[in-house]
Amino acid sequence: MACFDAPPAEGHVPVYKLLGIEIDPWLSFSKRLDKVCVLGRTAFEEFFHMAESTGLSIPVEALEVPRRVEPAVLYGAELLALAPGAETRLNELQAAWARTILGARNDLRNVSARLSVRELGWPLRLGTAMILKTILFFNKILLLPDLHPVKTLLRLALQLPCESWASRARALMNDPRLASPIPTIFEWGEIPDGLLQVAAQDAAVRKNALRRYKVGVVLPLLTALDREAYLQASTKQLPGLDCRFNQLDDTQERFIHQLLSIGHKTSWRNIRLWWLIRITGKWPVPLFATGNCVTTLPCCSRCGLEEIALNHVLGQTCCDPAETSQMQSIFSARQTADELFDSICFVGQAEGSQLSEAGSESTPTRAGAVLPQDLAGLADSICLAKQADLEAVAFSGTGRRLARAAYGLWCNVRNYNGD
Ligand SMILES: [Zn+2]
């Protein structure tokens, strides 16, 4: 491969692959970034297709993506810090996964990337996970013996005025968006000097020190960065609910687990309806027909009022204007599992009936229907899921099967012990 401005010669390749990572002539890793984005899309599509065709519940889908899809994308992600726009593109990739799970894959304008990622319970954005890997690898090199060639190279690179991976990693640690700069493992001061000396010779000690460093300082600062981004996004005004997103709730961490326990009782379309409405404050048209979420529908199918927003139906003003809006409690995460189930069914019935009347191309809705629990059906579903799961693993090459517990959670079977 002819690097930089070297003239190409016969037999030279434009991109060279080393240890599974594509290297381009300008060492920018942009080719690798392109490849990672394609890989991320296909690995997710494979997983999503498998999950949907076998009836995997949405909360389980959300919990499995970080386990099965993310590791494939983050392989070698330390190097992506050099690729222009890597953080943004990785965040967009992850947001596309989230939107697909929520049921509005192409609605970039209405379905907020930050809110949808957070709603699915994914603690770190993908771009931030890349930064985390970069910083940890930089510090791993610092822990190597002084005469180690990689450490020598790092020292040299840091002394040069030009941009390099080392200077890029250093810049990420001093990112002005962080609450405070991230210190190196030596500057941190929480690990005794003696131990750091031993770490140079002993890989196990090095691994332990790095883990302490990650949990003690790097992860908290990066998590705070993502939390800040989320807090900013959560001031978003929800037009059909007449409030801001952060007025609905602030306890979304336990939320996905609550959904997990009721996901088997209610239809998945209902959950998606309820979820999209929560994030956008708009009518979730993509679940019924082609198109994006809209603020108003032309006409109410029950009372004939024109240009109705969500609160016309959810606030129960339709037909009985005297009743007050219970909107915030409907979408609150502070409710018990039973209340949550009732809310999801209520939203599903109210919105689903309006939207299926409105969209002429829409298919008949099963909104509000409670799926019966059929034990024989459950067993079939688990067998089918396992078969599809094995096929997906065989094709995707990630080598990751669903966690054993996931098969049980799938259909809410406790202590499922089959193999
Ligand atoms: Zn009405």
- Distance in Å, CA 267 to ligand 1 centroid: 24
For residue 358, CA distances in Å to 280, 289, 354 come to: 19, 10, 6
Torsion angle in degrees (nearest 10) through CA of 379, 43, 111, 313 = -20
- Distance in Å, CA 318 to ligand 1 centroid: 4
| Higher local confidence (pLDDT), 365 or 394 | 394
- Distance in Å, CA 345 to ligand 1 centroid: 19
- Distance in Å, CA 177 to ligand 1 centroid: 47
Residue 373 predicted with pLDDT over 50: no
Sign of CA dihedral 171, 98, 412, 314: positive
Structure confidence at residue 366 (pLDDT): 38
Beta-sheet pairing, 21-23 with 243-244 = unpaired
Instruction: Name the pTM for this structure.
Output: 0.83
pLDDT bin (cut points 50, 70, 90) of residue 226 is very high
- Distance in Å, CA 309 to ligand 1 centroid: 10
Residue 215 predicted with pLDDT over 60: yes
- Distance in Å, CA 287 to ligand 1 centroid: 21
Structure confidence at residue 371 (pLDDT): 37
- Distance in Å, CA 299 to ligand 1 centroid: 8
- Distance in Å, CA 308 to ligand 1 centroid: 8
pLDDT average, residue stretch 261-281: 83
- Distance in Å, CA 302 to ligand 1 centroid: 5
- Distance in Å, CA 354 to ligand 1 centroid: 9
Residue 110 predicted with pLDDT over 70: yes
Beta carbons within 8 Å of 377's beta carbon, 6+ residues apart: none
Lowest mean pLDDT among 205-209, 228-232, 346-350: 346-350
- Distance in Å, CA 278 to ligand 1 centroid: 20
- Distance in Å, CA 355 to ligand 1 centroid: 12
- Distance in Å, CA 322 to ligand 1 centroid: 13
Structure confidence at residue 87 (pLDDT): 95
- Distance in Å, CA 35 to ligand 1 centroid: 50
Residue 314 predicted with pLDDT over 70: yes
Average pLDDT, the chain: 82
Task: Write the pLDDT tens digit of every residue in 150-209.
Answer: 999 999 999 999 889 999 999 999 999 999 999 999 999 999 999 999 999 999 999 999
Structure confidence at residue 14 (pLDDT): 80
pLDDT bin (cut points 50, 70, 90) of residue 403 is low
Residue 362 predicted with pLDDT over 50: no
Please report how many Cα atoms fall inside a 13 Å half-sphere around the Cα of residue 336, on the Cβ side. 2
- Distance in Å, CA 311 to ligand 1 centroid: 10
- Distance in Å, CA 358 to ligand 1 centroid: 13
Structure confidence at residue 265 (pLDDT): 72
Structure confidence at residue 173 (pLDDT): 96
- Distance in Å, CA 306 to ligand 1 centroid: 9
Q: State how far the Cα of 16 lies from the Cα of 134, in Å rounded to an integer.
A: 22
Instruction: Identify whether the C-beta of residue 403 lies closer than 8 Å to the C-beta of residue 68.
Output: no
- Distance in Å, CA 320 to ligand 1 centroid: 9
- Distance in Å, CA 279 to ligand 1 centroid: 23
Residue 109 predicted with pLDDT over 80: yes
pLDDT bin (cut points 50, 70, 90) of residue 33 is very high
Percent share of the chain, pLDDT over 70: 80
Beta carbons within 8 Å of 204's beta carbon, 6+ residues apart: none
Residue 19 predicted with pLDDT over 60: yes
- Distance in Å, CA 116 to ligand 1 centroid: 29
Sign of CA dihedral 329, 348, 314, 320: negative
What are residue 306's phi and psi, to 5 degrees? Answer: -95, 160
Structure confidence at residue 392 (pLDDT): 62
Percent share of the chain, pLDDT over 90: 39
Q: State how far the Cα of 264 lies from the Cα of 261, in Å rounded to an integer.
A: 7
- Distance in Å, CA 342 to ligand 1 centroid: 21
- Distance in Å, CA 157 to ligand 1 centroid: 67
Lowest mean pLDDT among 222-236, 271-285, 348-362: 348-362
